[in-house]
């Protein structure tokens, strides 16, 4: 697979930037003046109670929604002012792992993973090897002909990661990728996210209610030479072959960013509201 972030890293601006973003529905504003940016190769972990607007934020970053006010820019493009056609080509550079996986039940695993390539009219001869490659990445190449209902919850989640990376995206948006999974399966999913970050250099925006996912991403990295996950020592820079690109946290409360900072700041916070996420 071609290193995904080649284009993102040549772009000197942030991969994703929100500038005073508002998003509302009839009942009122859900996001109320949200500004943040995600530099290329960073992982931003987005925390917040249910209904706080995490999924909406990811949809805005994918150009699936437009803000009521403010600007969203992705890979240097202003999403708010793009036509549907321009958005389609931007979305080819973005992978979306939807909450609950959201696979098509009536399609095989292979067809699910190939879906976007078929939508984009990629040649059939090219599709097959790319589906195999994506399924190999999540170690599910043997499941291509099965239906999602024949797989476990964790396997389905891995298929949705394969589907998100089929376009070799610069940015991957993960919506609660470990929700509803047991701790061991969650670890497998987080290791995959780590591998995508450290092998292909993807930029990630990850919504979760599980703080430990964020700490795992911050404290471990995938060693490309040893081909396994290793702890990042706080006292030394990762050696060649290891990358531990920054992991930052952001917490939403009442439509606004309540906290933004690194893992150490969050884990040592005395703020009672934030401490609720730590227990
Ligand atoms: N299309 C819509 N029309 C009206 N309200 C909506 C729409 N989409 C989302 N909302 C509301 O916006 C709020 C934020 O939703 P969102 O799905 O982003 O929350 P979330 O932080 O992802 O929550 P969870 O942790 O449960 O996934 C919710 O109150 C939801 O009901
Ligand atoms: Mg959500």
What is the predicted pLDDT for the residue at 11? 54
Q: What is the number of the ligand 1 atom nearest to the C-alpha of 207? A: 22
Structural domain contains residue 214: yes
Structural domain contains residue 37: yes
Q: What sign for the dihedral angle of Cα 115, 61, 197, 14?
A: positive
Q: pLDDT tens across 180-211, in order?
A: 888 888 998 999 899 889 888 999 999 998 88
What is the predicted pLDDT for the residue at 237? 52
214 lines ligand 1 (CB under 6 A): no
Nearest CA to ligand 1 atom 25: 50
User: Residue 238 above 90 pLDDT?
Assistant: no
What length is written for the chain?
279
User: Residue 235 above 60 pLDDT?
Assistant: no
pTM: 0.90
Structural domain contains residue 131: no
pLDDT category, 219, cuts 50, 70, 90? Answer: confident
Instruction: Count up the domains in the chain and report the number.
Output: 1
Structural domain contains residue 69: yes
Tokens in use for 151? 């797989």
**Residues near 93 by beta carbon (within 8 Å), at least 6 away in sequence:** 7, 8, 75, 167, 169, 170, 171
Supply the DSSP symbol for 222: E
Question: Interhelix angle for 124-137 vs 153-165, to 10°?
Answer: 130
Question: Which range marks the domain in which residue 45 is found?
Answer: 6-93+167-278
Q: In Å, what is the CA distance from 108 to each residue of 134, 146, 159? A: 15, 5, 11
Ligand 2 centroid–CA 142 distance in Å is 31
Nearest CA to ligand 1 atom 30: 51
Q: How far apart are CA 268 and CA 175, in angstroms?
A: 26
Q: What is the CATH number of the domain that holds 198?
A: 3.40.50.300
Instruction: Identify whether the C-beta of residue 31 lies closer than 8 Å to the C-beta of residue 21.
Output: yes
Q: pLDDT tens across 79-117, in order?
A: 988 988 899 889 989 999 988 778 999 999 999 999 999
Strands 43-47 and 203-208, sheet pairing: parallel
Structural domain contains residue 133: no
Q: What is the number of the ligand 1 atom nearest to the C-alpha of 53? A: 18
Structural domain contains residue 161: no
Q: How far apart are CA 138 and CA 215, in angstroms?
A: 22
Structural domain contains residue 145: no
Instruction: Identify whether the C-beta of residue 23 lies closer than 8 Å to the C-beta of residue 60.
Output: yes
235 lines ligand 1 (CB under 6 A): no
């Amino acid at each position: 697979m071609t290193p995904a972030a080649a284009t993102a890293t040549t772009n000197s601006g942030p991969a994703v930037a929100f500038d005073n973003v508002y998003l509302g529905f009839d009942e009122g504003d859900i996001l109320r003046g949200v500004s943040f940016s995600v530099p290329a190769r960073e992982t931003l972990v987005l925390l917040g109670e249910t209904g706080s607007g995490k999924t909406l934020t990811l949809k805005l970053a994918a150009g699936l929604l437009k803000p009521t006010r403010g600007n969203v820019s992705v890979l240097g493009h202003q999403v708010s002012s793009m036509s549907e056609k321009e958005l389609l080509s931007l979305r080819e550079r973005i992978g979306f792992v939807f909450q609950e996986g959201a696979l098509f039940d009536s399609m095989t695993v292979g067809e699910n993973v190939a879906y976007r390539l078929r939508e984009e009219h990629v040649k059939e001869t090219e599709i097959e090897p790319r589906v195999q490659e994506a399924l190999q990445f999540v170690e599910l190449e043997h499941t291509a002909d099965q239906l999602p209902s024949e797989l476990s919850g964790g396997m389905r989640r891995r298929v949705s990661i394969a589907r998100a990376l089929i376009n070799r995206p610069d940015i991957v948006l993960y919506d609660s990728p470990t929700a509803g999974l047991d701790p061991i399966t969650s670890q497998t999913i987080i290791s995959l996210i780590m591998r995508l970050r450290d092998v292909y250099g993807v930029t990630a925006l990850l919504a979760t209610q599980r703080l430990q996912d964020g700490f795992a991403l911050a404290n471990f990295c995938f060693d490309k030479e040893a081909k396994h996950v290793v702890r990042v020592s706080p006292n030394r820079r990762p050696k060649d072959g290891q990358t531990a690109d920054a992991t930052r946290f952001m917490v939403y409360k009442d439509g606004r960013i309540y906290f933004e900072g690194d893992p150490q700041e969050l884990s040592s916070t005395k703020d009672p509201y934030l401490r609720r996420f730590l227990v």
